[in-house]
Amino acid sequence: MNEKITNVQVIEKIAKEVLQAKSQEEIDGFVSLVIYVGMFV
Amino acid sequence: MSDQRQTKLYKEKQERVAKTIRREEVDKPPFMLSADDYFPYYAGVEKSTVTSYDMAADVVGKVSDDLQFDTTIFPWLPANLFYGPKIRILGGGTYTVRNFEKMQDPEKVRIMGPEEYPELIKNPNTYLLETVLPRRFEVLQDINPEEKYNRIVEAVLGEGQKFSNYMQACEEKGCHLTLSGLMVNPVDFLFDFFREFTGIVSDIKRCPELVRDAGLAISEAYKPIIRSMKPASDKAIFIPMHIPAFLSPRDFEKTYWPSFKGFAEYMVEQGHNVVYYFEKKYGHLFDYLQELPKKGIIGVFQEDDMRLVKKKLGSSMAVAGGLSTTLMQHGTKEECIEHVKGLIQDLCPGGGYFITPDTPMMYPVDGRPENLKAVADYIRDCRL
Amino acid sequence: MLDLKKITQALGDLDEKNLLDMLNEFIASGPTVEEAREVVAACQEGMTLVGDLYETGIYFVGDLIFSGEILTAALALIKPVIGAANGPKVGTMVIGTVHGDLHDMGKQIFKNMAEAAGFEVFDLGIDQPASAFIEKVKEISPDVVGMSGVLTLSLDSMKDTVAGLKEAGLRDDIKIIIGGSPVTEAACKRIGADAWTINAAEGVRIIQGWVS
């Protein structure tokens, strides 16, 4: 795979595939959750 | 064991909490505990023997059953279970866990420089995920994308689910938890996770508009999280306050207040309650706190005089605090009960007051168990 | 000609830009070692102003911390002028943040100010057990030992350190000062220290009094 995938893209992929997120709003919500809650450590 | 959430006793506690948040009078003094590592100490359990959330929930349930407080702000957060796995899976963190205790290492916090504020302000999520956070977390560095995907799922969703299950288990055992979520105010996020003390204070002095704007940008990024959460009248988003106690009113107003106020208004607009933990003294900022939304706010105070707090802020927010941990450690049972009688007499009338320890109970020195029990029993049997 | 009073006032006002501008001009003028030492003393007067404003509730902890930053920047400019001619050492001090505590900003400010006042300071670092203090005291026989801590737990570590120094037969030859937000008169007595402070400028006055 030549194309480098960004961290944001990986997390958006998780939102779509694991959480079945459909709207951009839901996807953005998960990205925020990862940063401000999930990585609160 | 049956689900205690279905019992009359539990529902009465929920109602008492919801009413106190709304500043309505209630039937008996509401007791809101604030404790962390004190839970296993009270239960007579050695922290190091607790190796699962199931065991931790048993500890919390036992303490709740014995003390019968109406609610506790957050459950025991065993460092080895709450912080340890995340640090390992993410490959880094600001905390270290040692001897089953967590400590934040200031050296590990400062991973961003003040010259980076403009980029952060433009797009905080992208800038943090692609540039800043990879300096802390191995999982965000140049590793195999599949491994990255799996580790983020495990750390955020996996560990997140374990914690949700733990909170539910605590409540099923009869221990009502106030918190629905845990966040920090936007400028505190910069302080706690990117700039550390000297850094943020210097930024506040040297580039106050950038700090303000970074706070506002993060506040916007927080909003989708709030929209995804379900509000409840007996629950509140828990927000510990960190840097304002150390700032002059002028510096606070310029840099911290805009995003603090904006975010508070947003959460309340979305139907949520918010419980702010005002760590250390906040008397110098009471004028500002009076301008927060007039509903849905609980303020927990540590070092301010509770009678003054209720006088100045009681018509803006529900207030909590006042139970002296020093007295519970050094005084007699009788002295502790007299002390609580005074709190009830002076602060319960009119509603909107929770009896809460004046510092989160973390260590054995925060109170002799027999004194806490005496206080809890007195409150349990007291009628207003 | 550099107005020393303006230096003092700029630091007292936390006016970093003005202070550093004046110092840069001063350095460019090729000052003598003696003139540079006078400027250091003027900075110290400024820190005393800051300490007073903090004690009267006008400045807050954030202001105090920032003053430490400005002082560090100022001393970094002046030190090359003073250079190897370090001048008379007024005393030696060992400092450290005690076991279990990782905070060091108060200690840093105190260290900067003590060095500016002519003390030779040996900084053990953070999270230092009693044994580290004992070893260093045995090694260099300082005049003063300073212990810093921000957590309430630190008070216990300070007590252990003092007890350890006593047991090692070192207590009587040193003066001990403790600092940090949980430190009080009662705590000082319990710990067995000679003095306590939550204000770095006051701390320097105390230790100067011990060695004069």
C198 three-class SS:
coil
Q: What is the mean pLDDT of residues C84-92?
A: 74
What distance in Å separates the CA atoms of residue C143 and residue B333, rounded to the nearest whole number? Answer: 46
Which of A6, A14, A19 minimises the CB distance to B130? A6
Same domain for C196 and C144?
yes
* A25 within domain boundaries: yes
CA B197 to chain centre: 20
Q: Is residue B184 part of a domain?
A: yes
Phi-psi label, residue C73: left if phi above 0, alpha if psi -120 to 50, beta otherwise = alpha
CB-CB neighbours of B268 under 10 Å: 19
Contact B103, B95 (CB under 8 A): yes
Helix (H, G, I), strand (E, B) or coil at C176: strand
Q: For residue B76, name the pLDDT band (cuts at 50, 70, 90).
A: very high
- Greatest mean pLDDT range, B348-357, C40-49, C88-97: B348-357
Q: Which residue has the higher pLDDT, C160 or C54?
A: C160
* pLDDT score of B224: 96
What pLDDT, on a 0 to 100 scale, did the predictor assign at position C89?
84
SS3 state of residue C91: strand
Interface membership of B230 toward A (CB under 8 Å): no
CB C146 within 8 A of CB C178: yes
Phi first, then psi: give them for residue B102, nearest 5 degrees.
-100, 150
Contact B288, B309 (CB under 8 A): no
Predicted local confidence at residue B232, as pLDDT: 98
Nearest to C166 by CA among C126, C127, C130: C130
| pLDDT band, very low/low/confident/very high, at B328 (cuts 50, 70, 90) | very high
Range of the domain at C176: 91-211
Does residue A18 belong to any structural domain of this protein?
yes
pLDDT over threshold 70, residue C84? no
Neighbours of B48 (CB within 10 A): 11
Task: Grade residue C116 by pLDDT with cuts at 50, 70 and 90.
Answer: confident
pLDDT tens by residue, B2-54: 899 999 999 999 999 999 999 999 999 999 999 999 999 999 999 999 999 99
Which of C82, C107, C142 marks a domain boundary?
A: C82
CATH number at C39 reads 1.10.1240.10
| Domains contained in chain A, number | 1
Report the C-alpha gap between B229 and B146 in whole angstroms.
29
CATH of the domain at C171: 3.40.50.280
Number of domains in chain C: 2
Q: Are B226 and A36 in contact (CB under 8 A)?
A: no
- State the residue for tokens 């349930």: B61
Residue spans of alpha helices (H) in C141-199: 154-167, 185-191
Instruction: Name chain A contacts of B228, Cβ cutoff 8 Å.
Output: 26, 29, 33
Phi and psi, residue B301, nearest 5°? -115, 140
pLDDT tens digits, B279-292:
889 999 999 999 99
**Touching, C vs A (3+ Cβ pairs under 8 A):** no
What is chain B's percent helix, strand, coil content, to nearest 5? 60, 10, 30
- Higher-confidence residue of C117 and C164: namely C164
* Residue B295, token pair as written in the block: 């509903």
pLDDT at position B117 is 98
Q: Which pLDDT value is given to residue C47?
A: 87
A1 domain-assigned: no
Q: What is the mean pLDDT of residues C200-211?
A: 91
C22 and C53 housed in the same domain:
yes
| CATH number of the domain to which B308 belongs | 3.20.20.210
Whether chain C has a CB inside 8 Å of the CB on B247: the answer is yes
Cβ of B162 under 8 Å from any chain A Cβ?
Answer: no
Q: What does R_g of chain B's alpha carbons equal in angstroms? A: 21
CA distances from B327 to B288, B301, B346, C187 (A): 31, 17, 18, 16
Q: How many residues does chain C have?
A: 212
Residue B68 within a domain: yes
Of B308, B321, B226, the residue nearest B264 (C-alpha): B226
Question: Domain range spanning residue A25?
Answer: 7-38
If one counts every other C-beta atom within 10 angstroms of the C-beta of residue B383, the result is 6
Q: Is the pLDDT of residue B337 over 90?
A: yes
Q: Residue C85 above 60 pLDDT? A: no
Same domain, C97 and C138: yes
Asked whether residue A21 is domain-assigned, the answer is: yes
Give the model's pLDDT for residue C86. 58
**Sign (positive/negative) of CA torsion C189, C190, C195, C201?**
negative
Q: State whether C117 and C201 are in the same domain.
A: yes
> Do C141 and C48 fall within a single domain?
no
CA-based nearest distance B257→chain A, Å: 19
* Lowest-pLDDT choice from B94-98, B150-154, C167-171, C190-194: B94-98
Tell whether C153 and C129 lie within a shared domain. Answer: yes
- Residue C93 gets the label, from left (phi > 0), alpha (psi -120 to 50) or beta, of beta
Residue B142: exposure state from Cβ atoms within 10 A (0-12, 13-18, ≥19): exposed
Among the three residues C82, C110, C144, which one is the final residue of a domain in this structure? C82
Question: In this complex, is the C-beta atom of B86 within 8 Å of any C-beta atom belonging to chain A?
Answer: yes
- The letter for the amino acid at C124 is L
Closest Cβ opposite residue B197 in set C59, C60, C105: C105
Residue C174 has pLDDT above 80, yes or no: yes
Q: Indicate whether B234 pLDDT > 50.
A: yes
Contact B134 A18 (CB under 8 A): no
Q: Say how far apart CA B41 and CA B368 lie, in whole Å.
A: 10
| Residue C52 vs residues B252, B257, B359, C75, C201: alpha-carbon distances, Å | 21, 27, 29, 21, 9
If you measure CA to CA, which chain A residue comes closest to B93? Answer: A41
CB neighbours of residue B266 within 10 Å:
17
Q: Is it the case that residue C110 has pLDDT exceeding 70? A: yes
CA distance B230 to B222: 15
Q: Is the pLDDT of residue B89 over 80?
A: yes
From chain A residues 9-38, the ones with a CB under 8 A of any chain B CB are 10-11, 13-14, 18-19, 25-26, 28-29, 31-38
Domain that holds residue B271: 4-76+175-381
Distances in Å between the alpha carbon of C106 and those of B312, C45, C63, C91? 33, 18, 12, 20
Residues of C in contact with B284 (CB under 8 A): 60
Q: Tell me, yes or no, whether B298 lies in a domain.
A: yes
Return mean pLDDT, chain C.
91
Backbone angles phi, psi at B104, to 5 degrees: -90, 130
- Residue numbers in C near B204 (CB within 8 A): 62
- Among candidate residues B81, B33, B79, B37, the one with its CA nearest the CA of residue B59: B37
Whether A33 is in a domain gets the answer yes
Would residue A29 count as lying in a domain? yes
CA pair distance C85, C210, nearest whole angstrom = 24
Among residues C82, C107, C139, the one where a domain terminates is C82
Contacts of B246 in chain C (CB under 8 A): 60-62, 65
Quick one: average pLDDT of C70-87?
81
Please report the residues numbered 168 through 227 in chain B whose beta carbons come closer than 8 angstroms to any beta carbon of chain C: 197-198, 201-202, 204-206
Collapsed DSSP state (helix, strand, coil) of residue B341 = helix
Burial (CB count within 10 angstroms: exposed 0-12, middle 13-18, buried 19+), residue C124? buried
- The pLDDT value given to residue A1: 46
| Closest residue in B to A13 (Cα–Cα) | B149
- Which of A11, A33, A41 has its CB closest to that of B94? A41
Task: Give the separation between CA C71 and CA C65, rounded to whole angstroms.
Answer: 10
Euclidean distance between CA atoms C151 and C153, whole angstroms: 5
Residue B93's pLDDT is 96
Decide: B359 and B35 in contact? Cβ < 8 Å. no
Each residue of B128-169: pLDDT tens digit?
999 999 999 999 999 999 999 999 999 999 999 999 999 999
ipTM: 0.96
Q: Which of B324, B33, B350 is nearest to B178 (CA)?
A: B33
The least confident of B172-181, B264-273, C69-78 is C69-78
**Is 80 exceeded by the pLDDT of residue C130?**
yes
| Residue among B112, B140, B141 with most chain A CBs within 10 A, to mutate | B140
What residues in B contact C62, CB-CB < 8 Å?
201, 204, 243, 246-248, 251
What local confidence, expressed as pLDDT, does residue C11 receive?
96
Residue ranges of E strands in chain A: none
| Mean per-residue pLDDT over chain B, rounded | 96
In a domain, A2, yes or no: no
Q: What's the structural domain count of chain B? A: 1
What is the arithmetic mean of pLDDT over B282-309? 97
Same structural domain, C182 and C109: yes
